Each structure stands twice: as structure tokens, then as C-alpha cells.
Amino acid sequence: CFRRYLLMSLTSCLFWNTFGFSAAVDSKPNILLFLADDLGIGDIGCYGNNSIRTPNIDRLAREGVKLTQHIAAASLCTPSRAAFLTGRYPIRSGMASSNRYRALQWNAGSGGLPANETTFARLLQQQGYTTGLIGKWHQGVNCESFNDHCHHPLNHGFDYFYGMPLTLRNNCQKIKPPDLDAALQDKLWLYSQIITLAVLTLTAGKLTDLISIRWKTIACVTLVGGLFFISWYSSYGFVQYWNCILMRNHDVTEQPMKLERTAFLILKEAISFIKRNRHGPFLLFVSFLHVHTPLFTTSKFLGKSRHGLYGDNVEEMDWMMGKILDVLDEEGLKNHTFTYFASDHGGHLEAQNGSAQLGGWNGIYKGGKGMGGWEGGIRVPGIFRWPGVLPAGTVTDEPTSLMDIYPTVVHLAGGILPRDRVIDGRNLLPLLQGRAQKSNHEFLFHYCGSYLHAVRWHQKDSGAIWKAHYMTPIFSPPGAGACYGKKNCPCFGEGVTHHDPPLLFDLSRDPSEAKPLSADTEPLFDTVIREMGRAIEEHRRTLTPVPEQLSVYNVVWKPWLQPCCGTFPFCWCDKEGDSTQIL
């Protein structure tokens, strides 16, 4: 009898472990992805911040798995999000820039996520998921005409889109100084003023007979000056209308958007999507506009935090996230939803207004947004929750990447990864469940635009995590930890230092990258550098030439590509009405 009982018990356990887990995974859970914009890893409670209130993000961490070495594939919005959506380094899709424009600048640019890139939304759509994106896109809109929508979310696997096709900027709020090409705009204003002064001087000289010049010449100079002014002011003078818009699917609904109600609209749409698709399965990607400047915050949260406007904005985002998570509870979907939270890259250190800091805090990590190699620009929060499947209250210190979301959610949906391209992400489920103790990543490559700045080597047999910097930005002022006085640190040219031999750190002992190692202080120095060099060569052999989506031509404003809810250039509308009272 005892033997029979033991055999039955073992059979039952084997059945549960083999089939019970498979049933949970094969049942196609709903997938809810939250991605913050410019949030620093040190800005939320569960990562050590005790002064900004983030109870809902903290609750997610208590109920799930927290990653401490979660790495973005790029330190700016457009390339990082391209990697997140495709599971591939942005240089593979052409979303890495070799010029100073490292992110898309205009809705009316022609660059964007290429149509031949396969997003996780496309693969989940093929598995019967209803897919939605609410919030920020920043992967382009059009290619050749104002309505071809070749880069649009609906052309990349999303069934529903509501949000901002580009990104927030100071230009979206009239009281803030413009930040789109601010230095270039200053030069253009100066040139226009010089031309105007020249025309006035020539006219006065002609009228007083002090200058011998024909009226025809003055008219030509005036015409050229006028054309010059119109050529640049028609774009930069109306950024709020061209860039600060909201769309529902293919239709522009607000132009320009009214920031005072945008957060409520985003929240309303996310809640509505979940309720409409509660019978699932669904994929909902909530891509917050928070906490990117200009940090517009509603009156409910304004002045409530201990960290000024930035803290207010973080707390408002946490509240929005809590409202969405509450809907999962109300609809009985919590245990059947795979939930994820992260930031697209580190906090923006150079975002300041006088002495007020308008960007995030990256904790103990050096650097921030725009710095492709330093940890502060690429190490981000990463939290997963799936009650009953992922162990609650777990912390994982292994190296992981935002690119890992791609194979992970495709696996959960029962899909198959594309076999005609390199996928750089790795399925995280075994690590998240504790069935694997080590990350599947051996090397991670840290690009700044299209320039390789650093490499990380996870030496699994020793537990060491080596990181070599081949280029680093030159901070200003020296030793400041950021490039103050500039919008972001540069990736190339005179603004970077080349290191030969590279700067080497062991992140397992020195996560702040404060003490570079050398051949004198580290016996393995030469071996590690040699192994990383070999990995770089292998990595580069996997790269194939592709069109650069962020070339200067692709990012400049093209009026014939401008999304418009009227007849161009008369683009203004408000199809939302009074939509602020929703909760």
C-alpha cells in the first residue's frame, strides 16, 4: 500500500509539474506591458527611493520578480523602443544613428521602424491576441505621403492605437522654452535678423543716397531673406501643431493636444481596452508619456511630492498604473495576466531649469540618458508579475535586457520566433520562475547611436560581470557626471574619449564604475579584454548593412508627410470634447 501511495504521489507531482505548468503557460495569458519614459532606476521605492511615493509599482514588485540588472539596448527613446519591440539591437534595423540626431524629431519625418521588422505585437496578433498600444510610439508615421502610415503602429501588429505618434517636448507647452533643435533655432533667428537688418540698412541707404544700389537688388535680397525665414519658421515656428498631436488608429483626434487632459485620456483608453477585451487573450502595451519633459502634471498631483515637478509627475504615473492594475482585479484578470514594468532608459540628468532638476535619478549608477555605455543611461527598473506562476517577492541579479521581452511574450503566446533574422533577446521565463539560475546572456553590447561604446561579459563560471568601455563621453564641467549645457552627451567626435586599452570594471564588485581596473591591479585584465575583443568580432559578423532610418534626410521635417486633421497647413482639431471627468 505504501509503495502504491508513493507511486501515486510521485505520478501526481510529475503530472502537475509537467502538465500543470504547461497548462498555465499554454492557456495564453493576457499580457500587460508598462513602459515609462526617462524614468531613473533610483526614482521608485522598491529600488531604494524613500522620498517619492510609488506604492503601485512597489506592490507589483512585492507580488512578483524584481530585476536589478535590467539593461536597455540604447540610452535614448527611439532606438531603445525599437529594440524592445523587435528583440534586436537597433543597429540591425537601421534605428541607430551615425549623426547627432539619435531619435526621431518630427511626425513629418520619413524615418521609422521598417516594415520588414517583425514586432512582438505582430507575432501575438498571429496567435489570436487582440493587440493594443496606448501612449507613446516614437517609431515614425509616414514614408512617402501624409497618409501612407508605413511606420504606424497598426502597420506593426497593433489592432488598436491611441496616443502620441512622437514624444513630448517642451514645445508642447507654450510657457516652456522650446527644446527641439534649440541651438539651431537660435542660429536661424540670428541669420534672419542679420538679413532683416541688411535689408533695412540698404533701404535706408538708398533713400538717403548714401548707398548706390538698385531697388531690384534690394527686392531680391528681401525675397531671399523672406524665403529663408519661411523655410525654417514654417517648421520650427509651429512645432506644437506639427508634433504635439494625439491619434486614434489612423485619425488625428487632437492637434495640438491639450496637455491638461492627456493623462486622463491615456488612462481612460487603457481601462477601456482591458474591459473591451476582458475575455482575452489581449496584449496591451501602455507606453507612458510620463516622465519626459515638460513634465505636465495635473492639479491633483501638482506640488504634492518632495521632489518638485519631477516627483509630482512620477507619482501621477504611479497612480495611473494603480488604476489600470485595479481594473485587472475588478475584472478577475489578475491571475491570468503577465504584467511587466520598466523604463526605456535612464533618467535625464541634463534636464534642468535653473537649479531645479527636471530629470530622474539613477541611484548609484554613473551617467544617464543619452550615454550609451555608463550604467546610469541603460540600467533600468524591471518588474514582472504573474500570480501562481512567478514566485512573489523574488529578486534576480542576473543580466537581462529589454530585448528579452520579445522572445518571452512570444513564448507565452505559443508563437515561433522569426528564423530569418538574428534575435538578440532571450526567453526570461526559466529565470523568472527560478528554474534557471543564470541568465542566457553571455555578452551584451552597449551602443551610443551606431557607435559601440561598451561591452558587458557575464562570466558565468566565476560570477564576475566584466564591462569594458571603448569610448566614454567627456563630461562638462569635468567630473560633473553629465554633459551640462548640452541636451545630451555626444556619441562621437571631440565630445568623447577613446580608450586603448579600454576602461575595465567588474560590476559584481564595483557597480558604480568608480574604480577602473588595469593589468597591474587585475590579473585577468588581458584575458578579459582579449575575450571581449573576440566577442565584438563575432557580433560584428552578424551585422548586415541596412538603410539608416535616422539619417539627416529621414529626420528632417517634410511638409508633405505631415499628419493633419484638416487641410494642410490648417491643421487643428479637438475631437475629444470634455473628456477629463472619467474616474
Report which residue type is found at 302: L
Residue 53 and residue 305 in contact, taking contact as beta carbons nearer than 8 Å? yes
Which class for 55: exposed (0-12), middle (13-18), buried (19 or more C-beta within 10 A)?
Answer: middle
**Closest by CA position to 239, among listed 192, 185, 183, 309:** 185
Task: State the helix-helix crossing angle for 182-207 and 215-236, rounded to 10 degrees.
Answer: 160
Please report which helix (H) or strand (E) contains residue 384, including its range. Answer: strand 379-385
**Closest by CA position to 113, among listed 75, 134, 142:** 142
Which class for 388: exposed (0-12), middle (13-18), buried (19 or more C-beta within 10 A)?
Answer: exposed
Measured CA angle at 348 (ends 346, 352), to 5 deg: 160
Distance CA 91, CA 253 (A): 33
Distance CA 182, CA 97 (A): 20
Residue 511, CB-side half-sphere exposure with 13 Å CA sphere? 13
Q: For the chain, how many residues are written?
A: 583
138 counts as catalytic: yes
565 counts as catalytic: no
381 phi, psi to nearest 5 deg: -65, 150
Please report which helix (H) or strand (E) contains residue 266, including its range. Answer: helix 259-276
Distance CA 255, CA 565 (A): 7
Tell me the C-alpha to C-alpha distance, in Å, between residue 483 and each of 302, 348, 385: 29, 11, 37
Q: Which of 1, 13, 70, 138 is catalytic?
A: 138
**Closest by CA position to 155, among listed 173, 142, 171, 145:** 142
Q: Which of 77, 172, 448, 491 is catalytic?
A: 77
Residue 331, CB-side half-sphere exposure with 13 Å CA sphere? 21
Distance CA 460, CA 284 (A): 35
Q: Which residues are identified as catalytic?
A: 77, 138
